[in-house]
Amino acid sequence: MARLTILRYPDPRLHKVAQPVAAVDDGIRRLVDDMLETMYAAEGVGLAATQVDVHRRVIVMDTSEQRDHPIVLINPELSWRSPEFRLAEEGCLSVPAIYDKVERHASVKVQALGRDGEPFEMHAEDLAAVCVQHEMDHLVGKVFVEYLSALKRDRIRTKMIKKTRDEAGKA
Ligand code: GNR
Ligand code: NI
């Protein structure tokens, strides 16, 4: 397994649209395993392939307390969205140290293929529901800051450019 580099907002590659996976082969399984290692190392609850500059419809997540329940979603599609919405604080590994509230469906059902290539359906609520919707946005090139006001987004953009530049200078 290998740790992958996570793209940082405002990298334009975060806005690319991912393509469906044609077959769950060894290459996809390796990608999944590398994404899981990267997600756990970064202490994230989810990671979309877009964030590691692979533009395929692949998501990994683990919202369990013990961090021992990896979930793999290949070619995910929402089959149901609750009529209720919920406002919750979000963060993103591609926008480190920035948190703000986003409104999402309170619960969703998602159909996907697992790491074994078998189809399954999952009912997600609470943090898992937020995470599924956040990760599926990444696959269509959308980052959570795009739900915020233009003013907030521009401030975040400026802050992130400075932060990335400062960190590069230190290294
Ligand atoms: O680690 C993450 N935490 C998180 C918290 C609230 C709402 C969404 C998330 S997803 C984020 C990891 C990430 O950036 N996934 O794309
Ligand atoms: Ni994210």
Cα(85)–Cα(50) distance, integer angstroms: 26
Report yes or no on whether pTM surpasses 0.75. Answer: yes
Backbone angles phi, psi at 168, to 5 degrees: -70, -35
Both tokens of 152, joined, read 């907030």
Both tokens of 15, joined, read 């806005």
pLDDT by residue for the chain (171 residues), tens digit each? 899 999 999 999 999 999 999 999 999 999 999 999 999 999 999 999 999 999 999 999 999 999 999 999 999 999 999 999 999 999 999 999 999 999 999 999 999 999 999 999 999 999 999 999 999 999 999 999 999 999 999 999 999 999 999 999 876
Ligand 1 closest atom vs CA 92: 14
Mutate to test the pocket of ligand 1, among 65, 71, 134, 139 (most ligand atoms within 8 A of CB): 134
Cβ–Cβ under 8 Å, residues 60 and 30: no
Spot the catalytic one: 77, 135, 146, 167: 135
The reply to whether ligand 1 has any atom less than 6 angstroms from the CB of 6 is no
